[in-house]
Structures are given as C-alpha cells and as structure tokens.
Amino acid sequence: MRFFTLSDKGKVRPNNEDYAESMALQLCGPLGNRIEITALVLADGMGGAAAGEFASMLAVTTVKENLVKNLFEKQPEYLLNSDKTVFLEECFTMANKAIFDKASQNPDMEGMGTTIVVGLVYRDSLALAHVGDSRCYRFRKNELVSLTRDHSLVQEFVDAGRITAKEAFTHPQRNVITRALGIGETTLVERKNMVLEKGDLLILCSDGLCGFVEDDALAQVVSNIYQPEGTDLELLANNLVKAAYLNGGGDNISVCLYQHI
C-alpha cells in the first residue's frame, strides 16, 4: 500500500474535529495510457459544538468532489497539464465560502473554521497547498523536512527572531493560528510544486501530532520503520499516534502517509 490515513481523537478531547482522507484515482486513456493521481487531504476543524467537525468535513469533501469532477467531467489533461496548486487554491476558495456562509446562517456555528493541507501526486510531482498549522513533512535520505510553514502567531515570532523554534514548541500562544478556512470571506493560500524522488515519504498531519511530538522525535519514529522500497505505513501511522499519546495526546491526532515508489 502506497498511502494510509489514520485519525484518532486523542486522550483528552471528547470528539474528533479532524477529518482526513487519501485516495488514488486511475483512468485509462484512449491510447491505453494509464493516468493515476493520488490525493492526500487533511483538515483540523475548530468551533463550538459539532461546528469544527462540520468545517473540516466540508473542506475535505469540497476538495475531493472537485478533484473527481475535474478528472471525470472534463478531459483529464485539463487538470494534469495545468498547475495543480492553482486548482487546489480554487478548491480552498470554494470550501472557504461554503464554511463561511454556513456559519453566517447558523448562530450555533458562528466562528467555525478549519486548517487544511492537501498534497496531489502525479507522476514524480507534488502539488502542495495549505492554510493554517496542519503540516506536510518529507522524509528523504534519513532526513525529515517540513515542506509547509505554519500560519500561526508563534511562527511569526520565530520569523521575527523573537523566539526560537524550540521555544515555539512550548510557547503559551502556540495554538493561535493566523489563517484558516471559513473565518472570513476570503483566505490566503500558500502553495508550491516540487519534485518527488523514489522512496520519498510524505507525512501530512494535524497539530495533534506535530504540536506534541518535536521534529527530532518525529524523525526517530519514522526512521525506525522506514524502508526505501516500501514502508509499513499502517504500522508507522499507529506509532506516530502512540508518540503523541506518550506526550499527553491532548488534541485530535491525524496523519496521511504516502510513499513514492
């Protein structure tokens, strides 16, 4: 299996406001050419009652439905030959409007929103987009690197040189995010394209993981299981959740894993 998704409510929260899915879509063209695109989608909702759960679910389903629509209702080349991060930004804009409109119409959902991080893999390319502090890491040649930059108050402090990345991990305002889907009429999306190498492992996660397990410890969990020709992704996902539990498990924990074989 090249991808695996796992979401856990953690040890403290009564419900799970994360929503994550991974999927592979395959088409066979008229010349017998096979087209495959893999989507990794993860959102971390926020809001009272069940609003956070609804926001994250709506964000993920919006991306998924528009991905399928663009692949199957149009010529596949329309999406595959274009900048797929532009497509993701369009999906995020639609999800933002859907969440904001729903919250505006329902007082019980006022203030709801969600972070989101999405990776689309086609051939050897990764299209990545995110809003908020859910992250995407890449594990390559025994090195773990964050491919995303948190949209958070403490990240702004780090960028300004006010605190170190180490201090940010335990800062009392570490959970304050500066961007999210649904909290305003518009949102700013960060996106990038990059090349994948054989054996690369992608880890998309909510802050229930990266907010409780520091990067060095996270890299150690991954390196203990990683195999360049095929990692046991289910085992790795469970071990990542266990690592968050060992550090308190104070938030919902979600991971989407993908290995480029």
The pLDDT, as a whole number, for residue 70 is: 82
Residue 69 has pLDDT above 90, yes or no: no
Gap between the Cα atoms of 124 and 105, Å rounded: 43
Mean pLDDT computed over 139-159: 96
Mean pLDDT computed over 116-141: 97
Number of structural domains in the chain: 1
Mean pLDDT computed over 96-101: 96
CATH number of the domain to which 28 belongs: 3.60.40.10
Q: Which two tokens stand for residue 26?
A: 């395959």
Residue 108 has pLDDT above 90, yes or no: no
The pLDDT, as a whole number, for residue 45 is: 96
The pLDDT, as a whole number, for residue 71 is: 76
The pLDDT, as a whole number, for residue 1 is: 62
Mean pLDDT of the chain: 93
Overall pTM > 0.85: yes
Mean pLDDT computed over 8-26: 94
Residue 43 has pLDDT above 70, yes or no: yes
Residue 214 has pLDDT above 60, yes or no: yes
Residue 49 has pLDDT above 60, yes or no: no
Domain region containing 245: 3-259
Return the HEC string of the chain. CCEEEEEECCCCCCCCCEEEEEEEEEEECCCCCEEEEEEEEEEEEECCCCHHHHHHHHHHHHHHHHHHHHHHCCCHHHHHCCCHHHHHHHHHHHHHHHHHHHHHHCHHHCCCEEEEEEEEEECCEEEEEEECCCEEEEEECCEEEECCCCCEHHHHHHHCCCCCHHHHHHCCCCCCECCCECCCCCCCCEEEEEECCCCCEEEEECHHHHCCCCHHHHHHHHHHHCCCCCCCHHHHHHHHHHHHHHCCCCCCEEEEEEECC
Asked if 184 and 170 touch (Cβ cutoff 8 Å), the reply is no
